[in-house]
Structure formats: C-alpha cells, structure tokens
Amino acid sequence: MSPRIIRIITLIPFLLALAAAQAAPLPIPKPPSSGAKAFVIQDFNSKRVIAEQESDAQVEPASITKLMTAYVVFKELLSGNIALSDMVTVSEKAWRTPGSRMFIEVGKQVSVEDLLKGMIIQSGNDATVALAEYIAGSEETFAALMNRHAEEIGLIGSHFINSTGLPDPEHYMTAQDIARIAGLLIEEFPEYYKWYSQKEFTFNEITQYNRNKLLWRDESVDGVKTGHTDSAGYCLVTSAKQDDMRLITVVLGTKSENARADASQALLNYGFRFFETHRLYAAGDTLTTTRIWKGKTDSVTLGLDRPLYATIPRGQYESLDASMIIDNHITAPVVQGQALGKVQVQLGDELITEQKLVALQGVDEGAFWQRIIDEALLYFE
C-alpha cells in the first residue's frame, strides 16, 4: 500500500496573507557573467543553489583551503582538546612557509587565538602551519585530519595535501564544497565566525588588512575568505545577510582582486534582487497527528526536527504548495525523532524542497490485548 499524501492546509492562509503584499512575479534573468572558472550562489538557510557554473569541478582553492583548516581548529576548541589561550611555539617550518604571512618568529610563543586571527584576517600561511603542527604534530598529519572531517561532512569533491592551499596537483576543492564548509562555519561556530568580518589585525606592531574588499563596500557582507595563487587565480567566498535572508557566494579563478570582488558583488545583488527565502515551519511544530497501531496510545504527532526553509523567485510565494507523505500502518514502538514520512514543497511542477517528517514524541508498545486487537483491525485495513 502506498503512503498517504496529505495537504498541509495551515500553509495556505499564511501564504495568501503575504500574497497580497507581493508584487507581480518577475521574470528571472540569467545570472551576471562572473569571469570565473567556477561559481555558485547558495541560500544559507534553505541550502538551495540559486545559480552555478562548474560548481562540481575540482579546482585549486588557494587560501580558501583555510576555511577547512579553521573548521578543524574550531572542532578541536569545541571538544576541549585545545584552548584559545594555549601558547604555540613557532617552528622553523611554519616561519619559513612562503606566501602571505602574519610575521610570527621562529622559537617564539603565540596564542591559538592570535594565530587564528592571523590566519583568518591576514591569511597568514605561517600562522596556519603553526596551528596545524600544534594540533596534529605535523602539517601532513593535519591534512589527513582535514580529509577525515571532509568525508564526515560530505565534501565529496575535495582533497587536502596541506593546511594553507599552496599548490599541489592532489589538493583541490569544488565550489559546492566550499559553499558547504562556509555555511557550517557560520552555523556551528558563530562565536568564531565574527572574526571573518574583522577588517584589520595588528600583531608584533604590524597591522595588516583583510583582503576581502566587500567588507568595505557592502555593510551586509560579514565574511568570508579570499584566496590567490598564480595557478588558482583570484578567489573569494562571501556571505551577506539582508533582513532574514543570508546568501553565500563562491567565485573561483578570476583575473584580479577587483574582478573577484566585482563578480561576488554582482552575484550577491542578483540573488537578493530576484529571490526570497522564507521559513515555512519551525522545528518542533506539530504538523499533523496520525494513527499508530499496537501502541500505548493510538496516535502520534508529527513535525520537523529542524526548520523548513524555501528559496523561491520573488513574487511567487502565493504559488507554493505543501504536502505530507506519511508512512502507512505505523506500528509501535516509535522513538522520538524517528522518520515517518516527509514534507514536500512545490512551486508549480517543481519540487523546491523536502524534509523528513518525524515523531515528536516516542510511543511504547501497548499491552498484549491492545496489540491483539490492533492486529485484528489491521487485517481489515
């Protein structure tokens, strides 16, 4: 027997109430030309990709790599394995690492917090290697740790050889993966993500400025990271928030600092101008109650374990349609959070998003006689 499909009636008045205030639907033009090898525009909350070009191509990420390095360091902080106040002795290898620098000195001790700021704000390769060595003993071992975390969080198109992004044929990322890791940094580590909006950092009496030009151009921009090598070109990952909508853009392989900033700004403007994101349901809200068999109770409430967002073209909110597909013959025991169906949101014939529908509370098995009665009733279903 196929699962039941139920319309979510509560969505419709909510949509219609806002529909009156919406302008007529706008035609959606193609995204602006970026001049990049690859790019992606993604909504942070819904995870919907608004526009992309070669977003699954494995390309050299340069210092964009440091987003993954930061993720591993933040995880170590969260687990209590290290602390921001820990003092790190700078090795000769870290001191000699080529490329952008924080200007730490060999043999001196620098705090984890200062090294993180040197890596995030100044893109210091020396600071990055010092952190990698402190956490894993060597940069090579740290790269293995990066690959393990990448596999765990689903970065299927990435592979890391070092912590900095210095060129190597086996070191690559995709624009899709970069957007994902940027989103995880924002979502999981807000207390550290704030450093990505810091415009300058002074260490050892040397002040250096964040290379993300959009931090000065656009007040809605609060991150994320630049990257450049001769072979990778000029790269930029950007996040910006306007009202309740946050976008992440990734631009890889442009020809100059201005080109990457201009391309990123154009993609952000495009996303905010022609699309909108709405939270349709909150986590834990009861969406329906359904029959459960052989349980202590004869019903179970269903809802979502995380908020449900939809990103759609502007002016088309009233055309959204939501429905639930619920498993037939749900039988106790059921544990809280168990998936028992899904919610689907469509715009015309297009499936915009879907999310699992879960039990909001557990239901234990009923008494022996209740199970016998329900077994008999099920026979006639």
Compute the average pLDDT of residues 360-374: 75
| Residue range 250-306, pLDDT digits in tens | 999 999 999 999 999 999 999 999 999 999 999 999 999 998 877 788 889 999 999
Residue 163 shares a structural domain with residue 265: yes
What was the pLDDT predicted at 25? 60
Does the annotation mark 63 as catalytic?
Answer: yes
CATH number at residue 300: 2.60.410.10
Residue 93 shares a structural domain with residue 232: yes
**Secondary structure in 3-state letters for the chain:** CCCEEEECCCHHHHHHHHHCCCCCCCCCCCCCCCCCCEEEEEECCCCCEEEEECCCCCECCHHHHHHHHHHHHHHHHHHCCCCCCCEEECCHHHHHCCCCCCCCCCCCEEEHHHHHHHHHCCCCHHHHHHHHHHHHCCHHHHHHHHHHHHHHCCCCCCECCCCCCCCCCCCEECHHHHHHHHHHHHHHCHHHHHHHHCCEEEECCEEEECCCCHHHHCCCEEEEEEEEECCCEEEEEEEEEECCEEEEEEEEEECCHHHHHHHHHHHHHHHHHHEEEEEEECCCCEEEEEECECECCCEEEEECCCCEEEEEECCCHHHEEEEEEECCCCECCECCCCEEEEEEEEECCEEEEEEEEEECCCECECCHHHHHHHHHHHHCC
| Residue range 154-192, pLDDT digits in tens | 999 999 999 999 999 999 999 999 999 999 999 999 999
| Residue range 1-52, pLDDT digits in tens | 456 555 554 444 444 444 444 445 657 899 998 899 999 999 999 999 999 9
Residue 230 shares a structural domain with residue 336: no
What was the pLDDT predicted at 185? 98
Of all residues in the chain, the percent with pLDDT exceeding 90 is 79
Of the residues 34, 55, 100, 123, only one is catalytic, namely 123
Of the residues 37, 46, 55, 66, only one is catalytic, namely 66
CATH number at residue 165: 3.40.710.10
What was the pLDDT predicted at 19? 45
Does the annotation mark 158 as catalytic?
Answer: no
Residue 286 shares a structural domain with residue 270: no
Q: Which domain, by its residues, includes 350?
A: 4-20+282-379
Number of domains in the chain: 2
Of the residues 34, 46, 55, 63, only one is catalytic, namely 63
Residue 27 falls inside a structural domain: no
Does the annotation mark 319 as catalytic?
Answer: no
Interatomic CA distance for residues 44 and 214, integer angstroms: 18
Residue 112 falls inside a structural domain: yes
